[in-house]
Amino acid sequence: MGETMTAVPEQRDHTTTGEGHVRVPHVPGFARRGTGGAASAKQRGKALRDLVPRAAHALVDAPADRPDAVRAVEESSRGRVPELTPIRVGRMSAGPFAFLRGSAGLMAHDLAGTPVTGIAAQICGDAHAANFGLYGDARGRLVIDLNDFDETVVGPWEWDLKRLATSLVLAGREAGADEDTCRAAAFDTVGAYRRTMRLLARLPALDAWNAIADEELVSHTDARDLIGTLERVSAKARNNTSARFAARSTEPVPETEGGGRRFVDAPPVLRRVPDAEAAAVTASLGPYLETVSEDRLPLLARYAVHDVAFRVVGTGSVGTRSYVVLLLDHRGEPLVLQVKEARPSVLLPHLPAAGFTAADAGHEGRRVVLGQKRMQVVSDILLGWTTVDGRPYQVRQFRNRKGSVDPAALTADQFDDYGRMTGALLARAHAHSADPRLIAGYCGKNEELDEAMASFAVAYADRTTADHADLLSAIRTGRIAAEPGV
């Protein structure tokens, strides 16, 4: 399948605009003249409705080879640090929403049998409601966007949107909202995605690329009930810095031992590592510098590496190898980098069933970083990748003024607001790699897609709830070990 595009007629390499005018060559990487009209792209998208009716997105398939929930969790834990697996299982056992967060591969398995248009986009791969948040830009201002890209691939945009809508239903249920409220949140999520894509399709290309600045997001999505929550999250995010983390997690090193600071053990979440392991991580920062934009190198050159520790992260990420590296400048002010293992996307085995090529990433850290840059309007200025002991890693700032809304803590009147906001952000992210005119042409003006995907979200939320119940049963019987509350 890949991206569904009408074949472009062969054109000459040069275009003559009239006698005496300069012949203009076609430049690879740019569109050919006369082939990028808004009407043609919109019509191609609209024509896809005949192949994949929008109502078909309500389908929740039950693949015959679907693994049971416990086996899926066990399979997804292979290759992770074994002693951390019970922590991962414990976090997934907290509720159906937490289970969804840790089971992107299982959902991809299920989505592989559902209808897709074949329009390719750089997708998050794990676009649930808790993977949107605030972070600092190069000047310390807060921006809001998708913020987790471990599973990013080129794939069907529908998978991201269905996962996001499903997560709103589960988060709403966890917060005690009634079923009508939960379904409305999913419906509004898809509606905001559709309307935002239509808006982007109407704008000049450059305007669309940078559209919906953060200060316009609330009004664009009519999310005024979220203003107070966003203000509280923003205030907290401004204090969520490397300096604050270092103040809590490090201690001074005596001058007789070289001075500076070092991490303090806080098991099981944070632990210092043997010298050889610390040396391997430190050595990997050399190759990392080759992946960072050259204009950032003078900045990094003003820091010295002081210590390395292992730190447990996330829900789905628990068990991956993840380090924090403490750097100090000439004044002793800290910068903390995270060096996080980049495993192959859990979506890869399921893409061919949906008609997409599962391309070799080359380096998984590079896949994550480039995917992030393709989807975000503004990205961490220190993003890069490296290799430690033969394993690929991504590198980024740690605690870069990050903040997030806990969707399960929202009030009933906030869920539809949060759904509209995240749906709009997802559309903006997809429009960086997929032509918004094509997706907008398919989505259309009416609410047919919204209704279908909302129905899917409720049905898949029910399935996830059943999967979570199976996990709890397996924990009680001792089939799988869990360490809850960590």
pLDDT at residue 357, as a whole number: 87
- Is the pLDDT reported for residue 341 higher than 50? yes
The residues, ordered by sequence, that sit 6+ positions from 460 with a Cβ below 8 Å of its Cβ are 60, 107, 110, 162, 166
pLDDT for position 8: 36
Of 36-45, 75-84, 221-230, 293-302, where does mean pLDDT reach its minimum? 36-45
Is the pLDDT at 457 greater than 80, yes or no? yes
Structure tokens at 429: 């992210």
Distance CA 164, CA 426 (A): 9
Residue 3, pLDDT above cutoff 60: no
Model pTM score: 0.91
Q: What confidence score (pLDDT) does residue 24 get?
A: 76
Alpha carbon distance 188, 416 (integer Å): 6
Dihedral pair phi/psi, residue 122, rounded to 5°: -75, 115
Q: Is-contact 97 408, C-beta < 8 A?
A: yes
Over range 13-40, report the average pLDDT: 65
**Are the C-beta atoms of 411 and 192 separated by less than 8 Å?**
no
Across 415-440, average pLDDT: 96
Query: Which tens digits make up the pLDDT trace of 126-159?
Result: 999 999 988 888 887 888 899 999 999 999 999 9
Give the C-alpha separation, 196 to 67, whole Å.
36
Domain ranges of the chain: 35-237+419-477
Question: What is the structure's pLDDT at 20?
Answer: 53
Please list, in sequence order, all residues whose beta carbon lies within 8 angstroms of the beta carbon of residue 158, skipping any fewer than 6 positions away: 57, 111, 114, 115, 116, 117
Residue 21 is predicted with a pLDDT of 58
Q: Classify residue 414 by its DSSP letter.
A: G
pLDDT of 194 reads 97
- In percent, the amount of the chain with pLDDT more than 90 equals 72
pLDDT value of residue 313: 84
- Overall residue count recorded for the chain in this entry: 486
CB neighbours (10 Å) of residue 19? 5
Region 282-307 average pLDDT: 97
- Average pLDDT of 369-373? 97
Task: Write the DSSP string, 89-128.
Answer: HHHHTT-HHHHHHT-HHHHHHHHTTS-----EEEE-S---
Per-residue pLDDT at 19: 54
HSE at residue 37, side-chain half, CA atoms within 13 A, is 8
In the predicted model, what is the mean pLDDT of residues 377-399? 95
In contact, 269 and 225? CB cutoff 8 Å: no
Closest by CA position to 189, among listed 409, 436, 429, 422? 422
- Peptide linkage before 268 cis (omega within 30 of 0): yes
pLDDT digits (tens, 9 = 90+) for 185-220: 999 999 999 999 999 999 998 888 888 777 788 888
Confidence (pLDDT) at 317: 81
pLDDT at 62: 76
Of the ranges 77-86, 217-226, 394-403, 439-448, the best mean pLDDT one: 439-448
Q: Which of 349, 143, 324, 328 is nearest to 233 (CA)?
A: 143
- The band of 61, judged by pLDDT with boundaries at 50, 70 and 90, is confident
Task: Look at residues 64, 103, 57 and name the one whose alpha carbon lies nearest to residue 459.
Answer: 57
What per-residue confidence (pLDDT) applies to 36?
56
How confident is the model at residue 139, as a pLDDT? 81
φ, ψ at 22 (rounded to 5°): -70, 140
**CA–CA gap between residue 141 and residue 137 (Å, rounded):** 5
**pLDDT value at 14 more than 50:** no
Mean pLDDT of 330-335: 95
- Mean pLDDT value across the chain: 91
What's the CA angle centered on 276, arms 274 and 279, to 5 degrees? 110
User: Has residue 121 got a pLDDT over 50?
Assistant: yes
**Residue 79 clears pLDDT 50, i.e. is over it:** yes
pLDDT of residue 176 exceeding 70, the answer is yes
Q: What pLDDT does residue 444 have?
A: 97
Element (H, E) at 161: helix 157-174
Model confidence over 220-273: pLDDT tens digits? 888 888 999 989 999 999 999 989 999 999 999 999 888 999 999 999 899 999
Q: What is the pLDDT of residue 15?
A: 47
Average pLDDT score over residue span 381-398: 97
Q: Cα 38–221–56 angle (5° rounding)?
A: 60
359: confidence class by pLDDT, cuts 50, 70, 90:
confident
Q: Average of pLDDT values for 67-87?
A: 91
Angle (nearest 5°) at CA 214 between 213 and 217: 90
